[in-house]
Amino acid sequence: MTLAGCASDDAGNGGGDSGGDSGGDSGGSGGDTGTTTGTPEQSVDEVVIGSNHPLSGSLAATGVGMSNAIKLAAMRKNEEGGIESLDGAEVTVIEGDNQGAQELGGQVSEELLSEGADVLTGCYSSPVTTAATQVAERQGVPFVISIAAADNILQGRDFNYVYRPQPPARRLASDYADLVPTVIRDGGGTIDTAGLFYINNSYGQAIRDSLREFLPEQDVEIVEETAIEFGASNANTQVSRLRSADPDTIIATTYVAGGVLLAQALQDQDYRPPYLTASASATFTDDDAVSDIGEFANGVLDNNYALNPTVDKTAEVRSQFLDNYDQEFSASVGMSYTAAEVIIQAVEEAGSVDPDDINEALKGLSYEDHISAMGAIEFDDQGENVNALGPVNQVQDLSVKVVYPEEYAEAEPQV
């Protein structure tokens, strides 16, 4: 997934989703969670959030930023006086490094719980998140996903303790089909055919499958599909196939590194389709990645989660993050910040660190004071945010800007 991104193909997000190099679950045995339970009548000194992200490995560039965003949300709450309903209890963040490896997702969740985490968040990679959430569910501890797009993390698992503020793959693909062709056509362009370029894991496959369903409904025919493996060193073969199909647009679904490889191969072959677009790709919502690609990135349209540029709080948080961590506040990092605020708000409303009390607060949550470009965060029975949205971003002058829908736009689309 910046969407969107979340799996484990390279050094970047989702927007895209999350990753890991394989599908499936992992995890350890059940047992004591190591959490501190309490009620509004008990004295609680701290609330502990366990951050399960890739702090090393190929996804670390984004993963470290995401974990830092969790810490910033905690710091801001503490500066405001802590959890008011718990007499000023401090929010503490403990970190675990899943290295972007699926087999570590469940293990890190267990370690964080044994170290005293009251609630968990993570993991950027969809396969890693699949494993990590299984442990949280089994031990009855709430898990608020920071980023991970694959639908099957929640769909069909009958989880009771897992929540996703950001749009899942199916919603992201649906928003792409509804919004991106509209932007192009309203600008006088033509988009009748598409070629898909995606990371070959649960995140990329989920976006691909949903685009297959939704694009034809908007009169866009998929004329080629090509996948890149996690850890690939170039995308020349894939670009050759796409070039032969001659689509109106190439739709990228990658982590940061995969999108950079795509841009390099396109330039190597002196080829660019009329519209270079993306769905839930971390590459084209990440200012650092865009800067690395250079002028070739200008004009790319990507639907993914996004920061809301129309509220003052976004600029405030972005500036504070840069000052504290000397990192850019990308959409992926911003979504993690939002996940942390969701946790903090739920604890505030629960007035307790008991996992079941926090869980009940999450179920009834309606959180509006966030910085993501979407409506109030409210969860359905499956733990999905009913108001999740993947707006359209565009790279303009090597800067990522929200351009559609108009209520969140900071610039006009350039088509």
Q: How large is the average pLDDT for residues 160-185?
A: 97
Residue 317 dihedral angles phi and psi, to the nearest 5°: -65, -40
- Listed in sequence order, the residues at least 6 apart from 358 whose beta carbon sits closer than 8 Å to its beta carbon are 118, 119, 142, 343, 346, 347, 350, 352
Domain 46-167+309-378 belongs in CATH node 3.10.310.30: no
User: Cis omega (within 30 of 0) on the bond before 405?
Assistant: yes
Does the pLDDT value for residue 3 go beyond 80? Answer: no
Work out the end-to-end distance of the chain between its first and last CA atoms, rounded to an integer number of angstroms. Answer: 23
| Residue 385: per-residue pLDDT | 98
Q: Are 86 and 47 in contact (CB under 8 A)?
A: yes
- pLDDT tens per residue, range 338-348: 999 999 999 99
Q: Which two tokens mark 66?
A: 């995401």
Strand, helix or coil for residue 409: coil
Q: How large is the average pLDDT for residues 355-383?
A: 97
| Residue 328: per-residue pLDDT | 85
Cα–Cα distances (Å) from 405 to 98, 245, 374, in that order, read 35, 30, 10
Does the pLDDT value for residue 44 go beyond 90? Answer: no
| Residue 28: per-residue pLDDT | 34
Cα–Cα distances (Å) from 268 to 174, 232, 235, 261, in that order, read 32, 16, 10, 10
- pLDDT tens per residue, range 276-334: 999 999 899 888 899 999 999 999 999 998 999 999 999 999 999 999 999 889 888 99
Does the pLDDT value for residue 224 go beyond 50? Answer: yes
Q: Which two tokens mark 153?
A: 């993390």
pLDDT > 70: percent of the chain: 90
| Domain spans of the chain, in order of start | 46-167+309-378, 170-304+392-408
CB atoms closer than 10 angstroms to residue 405 = 16
Mean pLDDT of the chain: 90
Q: Are 37 and 278 in contact (CB under 8 A)?
A: no
Q: How large is the average pLDDT for residues 153-172?
A: 95
Cα–Cα distances (Å) from 249 to 165, 237, 273, in that order, read 29, 18, 6
- According to DSSP, the residues that pair with 301 across neighbouring strands are 277, 394
Q: Which two tokens mark 375?
A: 């409506």
Q: Which of 26-40, 42-56, 301-315 has the lowest mean pLDDT?
A: 26-40
Domains 46-167+309-378 and 170-304+392-408 equal at CATH topology level:
yes
Q: Are 84 and 108 in contact (CB under 8 A)?
A: no
Q: Are 117 and 49 in contact (CB under 8 A)?
A: yes
Amino acid 335 reads M
- Listed in sequence order, the residues at least 6 apart from 78 whose beta carbon sits closer than 8 Å to its beta carbon are 90, 91
Residue of 168, 214, 201, 216 lying closest to 379 (CA atoms): 168
- pLDDT tens per residue, range 101-150: 999 999 999 999 999 999 999 999 989 999 999 999 999 999 999 999 88
Does the pLDDT value for residue 91 go beyond 70? Answer: yes
Does the pLDDT value for residue 63 go beyond 50? Answer: yes
CB atoms closer than 10 angstroms to residue 287 = 16
Strand, helix or coil for residue 47: strand
| Residue 42: per-residue pLDDT | 53
Does the pLDDT value for residue 198 go beyond 90? Answer: yes
User: Using N-to-C axis directions, what is the helix angle for 256-268 and 236-245, rounded to 10°?
Assistant: 60
The model's pTM:
0.84
Does the pLDDT value for residue 15 go beyond 80? Answer: no
User: CA 108 to CA 110: how far, in whole Å?
Assistant: 5
- pLDDT tens per residue, range 376-405: 999 999 999 999 999 999 999 999 999 999
Q: Are 302 and 393 in contact (CB under 8 A)?
A: yes
Q: Are 375 and 385 in contact (CB under 8 A)?
A: no
**Per the CATH hierarchy, to which homologous superfamily does domain 170-304+392-408 belong?**
Response regulator (3.40.50.2300)
| Residue 230: per-residue pLDDT | 87
User: Cis omega (within 30 of 0) on the bond before 123?
Assistant: yes
Rg (CA), the chain: 20
Residue of 187, 244, 204, 248 lying closest to 222 (CA atoms): 248
Q: Are 328 and 292 in contact (CB under 8 A)?
A: no
